[in-house]
Amino acid sequence: MQSPIFAYNEQQTQERWSLQNKQMLRVALEGHDDILARKGTMVAYQGLVEFDAEFQSNQQSRARAQTGEGLDLMRCHGQGTVYLANLKQHVHVMEVDHDGLTVDSSYVLAMDSSLHHEVIAVDSLYGISGSGKYQLNITGRGKVALMTSGMPLALQVTPDKYVNCDADAIVAWSTGLRVQMQAQTHSSGVWRRRGSTGEGWELSFMGTGFALVQPSELLPPQNAQIGSGLAAQYGMGQQGARGQNQGNAWS
């Protein structure tokens, strides 16, 4: 049998984490160092690989119920190769180190099981009840695979160069950055989009690090629970706008 389709062979590499192509992740398992992957994202595997639902602590379950932020994970372990993908989204492998990574959980495809994750919250400029945004903070040392709708843009943040990103387009940022949620309007019009431009809430980043944005303000097409009411209507991020202090872990 002959066909150009057979040109899409397995990628040969010595790397444990690698991309089979722009939309598919390849992870080699060697009997240790399990990985955690979003449930239902395995598209193929080779070898003796097992998949188990990952246990959620009571604290993680409460945070998920209260904020909508969190991860439905499965543990992949054994010896072999596993391929992960989700609705043709672009996949990017990042190394998490002591700086940490803050990310919208909807964009996480997989991570090393050695990494720790917890829910934090970003405060709004106006201190209005219900005007903040919850995110996931990932710490430790290891790899994490993120998904974006299209090819992303990594913006460098420096002390003399602030970066502002649409709350519906931001994917992740360096945990060490100072973050403020704001609307470019006066407080009495905070629930209205800016004039007739269609722009709403933004995240302002200060310090040293990076901010990763995708070329889309649409929610990720992965059946993740989305916000509703005023929060969703006025562009305040996927989980809507909620008022908490940035950097405070959910407890």
pLDDT tens-digit map of 80-118: 999 999 999 999 999 998 889 999 888 999 999 999 988
Residues 6+ apart with CB under 8 A from 146: 91, 92, 94, 103, 107, 108, 109, 171, 172, 212
CA distances from 63 to 25, 58, 75, 186, 242 (A): 28, 9, 20, 32, 13
Could you read off the pLDDT of 183-228 as tens digits, one per residue? 655 444 444 444 444 456 788 999 999 999 999 876 554 444 433 3
* pLDDT in the model for residue 197: 43
